[in-house]
Amino acid sequence: GGARPRVLVVGAGLAGLGAAQRLSSSRAFPHLRLLESTGRAGGRVCSQPFGSEVVEMGAHWIHGPSKENPVFKLASDYGLLDEEAMSEENQQIEVGGHPFLPTVFYSNAGRVLTPELGEGVRNLFSTLLDQTREFLHVPQVSVPSVGEYLRKEIAQQVKEWSDDDETKWLKLAVLNTYFKLECCVCGTDSMDHVALGPFGEYAMLPGLDCTFPGGYGGLPDCMLTSLPKESVVFHKPVTAVRWGGSYREESQEGRTFPVQVECEDGERFLADHVIVTVPLGFLKEHHETFIDPPLPPRKADAIRKLGFGTNNKIFLEFEQPFWPPDCQLIKVVWEDESPLIEAGTDLQAGWFRKLPCFVVLQPPEQYGHVLCGFIAGKESEYMETLSDAEVLTALTDVIRRLAGNPHLAPPKKVLRSQWHSAPYTRGSYSYVAVGSSGNDIDALAQPLPEDAADPWPLQVLFAGEATHRTFYSTTHGALLSGWREADRLLSLYDTSESHQHKPQL
Ligand code: 6YU
């Protein structure tokens, strides 16, 4: 008795760093260790050098940078944002999840589509997408997925389009680009996998999405610096979290601990509490052996049912831009495609068709001419298996088609993320898949043991973006989830300390 609790945190992404930061600022937790499998902090916040600049392999924007967004708040406090992002005006802009960038629509036939056509389709798609968020409290939905709902509505709309509208097919092709874009946003292979009922539960904050001028990685770096140096251990993959036990240190007698964490290199750590922040993708693959005794059925079920797909980025640097100077977003339209026609399944022959857009990195004076392509789903996972040279060849061909110039110089450099192959991530971020709901997110977040009367409460706690019911898939969701679990421990000791001081009857 009397000894201060020992706490372990597994994973040094924003959830783990946030939890550790909050715990280390309290004097109740001097025995704190953060175990990270890789050699760096940040997890899916991952800024990497590309030429003379830094690009984001993971999180790109602060979604909804305004007062209630803890990532915005922390980044502002650390001085990591520029003045425009911090302005009151910027914080008040409502974008509804889809920031508007000056866009040019290019087709694979080397055509630039009229802004009117692009704008019209954009409005139609965003109206339909807004409708999909209105089924939250509807007891019975007519179709299970966002994709099926959108297609049903589009099929309906098409009937009303005039017969002599010669752009009908082209509008459908542009709509298909929006489907693929939405797959990137949700981190899924198909919108048919995204559950319709719970879709409206994802919450958006006000503020015009902003980036970090010096790289998103500045945020985890600052957080890391604030932690006691010896508390963070890198290159320490955890292989098993054993709980409900009675573990004793070999050297010491006396104190027993309910939790033992085992690492790949054989090292063991004993603790009273462990906060697990590994990604849902890692849990999907390993939870049966990673947590011992195994998770209660309700939690294991949540891990299986919730969605965790892949979204990757491909950076291309050009000597000269083929896009106009004011263009910040290139949308790629394949003229023969339509959301009402089944897509081809030959990954090797057509994986690159899944890529819906390129963001032009801003400002060009800083970055040069760099495009950041987004690609989600199976095609994205297939892309990960290719070499840089193969990716470059395929995308050079795409770009030449878009530009209508078969001799366009290939990009001089390529860099892409490979989140699905990353052994400690296994994908990009979570979504609420068909067959699951926000209740599964809450079930995943539930600590162990589930019996509140257990003499050893809160042995295993769960944080990470996938455990946040309304902000899943974001950095602020991850940070808030880490704080939530730290607070859970803080309040446990608050109350037990005050109990101890009560006179014994
Ligand atoms: C955001 C954005 N963004 C793009 C891409 C990706 C993500 N996100 P971490 O994985 O960070 O940390 C876990 C750590 O654990 C890690 O370091 C591991 O190495 C370690 N670990 C694992 N196993 C271990 C073991 N066994 N032992 C020890 N350690 C172990 N978020 O706010 N803005 O622009 C993007 C984007 C390509 C991959 C993003 C974005 C998601 C965030 O990056 C992510 O949520 C958090 O960083 C996760 O932090 P964490 O701590 O939980 O895990 C309606 C509708 C709904 C759909 N959603 C719409 C929202 C759009 C989301 N947008 C994302 C878009 C982009 C472009």
At residue 505, the pLDDT reads: 39
Confidence of residue 51 (pLDDT cuts 50, 70, 90): confident
Mean pLDDT rounded to a whole number for the chain: 94
| Residue 425 and residue 43 in contact, taking contact as beta carbons nearer than 8 Å | yes
At residue 111, the pLDDT reads: 96
> Which run of H or of E encompasses 263?
strand 259-263
At residue 249, the pLDDT reads: 86
Q: How far apart are CA 432 and CA 255, in angstroms?
A: 42
pLDDT value at 497 more than 80: no
Q: How far apart are CA 349 and CA 334, in angstroms?
A: 14
Name the residue with the closest Cα to ligand 1, atom 20. Answer: 11
At residue 311, the pLDDT reads: 98
Q: How far apart are CA 8 and CA 273, in angstroms?
A: 6
The pLDDT tens digits for 184-213 are 999 999 999 999 999 999 999 999 999 999
Helices 218-225 and 14-24 cross at an angle (nearest 10°) of 30
55-to-271, 406, 413, 416 alpha-carbon distances in Å: 38, 28, 13, 10
Q: How far apart are CA 427 and CA 309, in angstroms?
A: 5
Confidence of residue 2 (pLDDT cuts 50, 70, 90): low
Q: How far is CA 74 from its chain centroid? A: 19
> Which run of H or of E encompasses 174?
helix 168-186
Q: How far apart are CA 23 and CA 485, in angstroms?
A: 10
* Residue 263 alpha carbon, nearest atom of ligand 1: 27
Name the residue with the closest Cα to ligand 1, atom 41. Answer: 474
Single out the residue of 75, 118, 337 nearest to residue 218, CA to CA. 75
Q: How far apart are CA 410 and CA 161, in angstroms?
A: 40
Q: How far apart are CA 53 and CA 39, in angstroms?
A: 21
Read off the tokens for 271.
């603790």
The pLDDT tens digits for 275-286 are 999 999 999 999
Q: How far apart are CA 44 and CA 120, in angstroms?
A: 35
Name the residue with the closest Cα to ligand 1, atom 53. Answer: 13
Name the residue with the closest Cα to ligand 1, atom 37. Answer: 58
Percent of the chain with pLDDT over 90: 89
Q: Give the number of C-alpha atoms closer than 13 A to the C-alpha of residue 128, restricted to the C-beta side.
A: 22
One-letter amino acid at 460 equals V
Q: How far apart are CA 243 and CA 35, in angstroms?
A: 17
Q: Give the number of C-alpha atoms closer than 13 A to the C-alpha of residue 293, restricted to the C-beta side.
A: 8
User: Measuring from each residue's beta carbon to the nearest atom of ligand 1, which residues come in under 6 Å?
Assistant: 10-16, 35-38, 43-45, 58-61, 63, 185-186, 199, 202, 237-238, 277-279, 282, 311, 313, 417, 419, 424-425, 428-429, 431, 464-465, 473-475, 478
The mean per-residue pLDDT over the stretch 323-349 comes to 95
| Residue 402 and residue 160 in contact, taking contact as beta carbons nearer than 8 Å | no
Beta pairing, strands 247-248 & 291-292? unpaired
At residue 96, the pLDDT reads: 67
The mean per-residue pLDDT over the stretch 83-111 comes to 88
| Residue 289 and residue 283 in contact, taking contact as beta carbons nearer than 8 Å | no
At residue 97, the pLDDT reads: 57
284-to-40, 43, 319, 422 alpha-carbon distances in Å: 23, 17, 42, 14
The pLDDT tens digits for 116-128 are 999 999 999 999 9
At residue 94, the pLDDT reads: 84
At residue 344, the pLDDT reads: 86
The mean per-residue pLDDT over the stretch 294-312 comes to 98
Most informative mutation of 8, 10, 36, 44 for ligand 1 (most atoms within 8 A of CB): 44
The mean per-residue pLDDT over the stretch 385-403 comes to 98
Most informative mutation of 223, 475, 479, 481 for ligand 1 (most atoms within 8 A of CB): 475
Most informative mutation of 8, 34, 60 for ligand 1 (most atoms within 8 A of CB): 60
The mean per-residue pLDDT over the stretch 422-439 comes to 98
Q: Give the number of C-alpha atoms closer than 13 A to the C-alpha of residue 331, restricted to the C-beta side.
A: 27
> Which run of H or of E encompasses 439?
helix 438-445
DSSP state, 351? G
At residue 99, the pLDDT reads: 62
* Residue 311 alpha carbon, nearest atom of ligand 1: 37
Strand partners, 232: 34
At residue 45, the pLDDT reads: 99
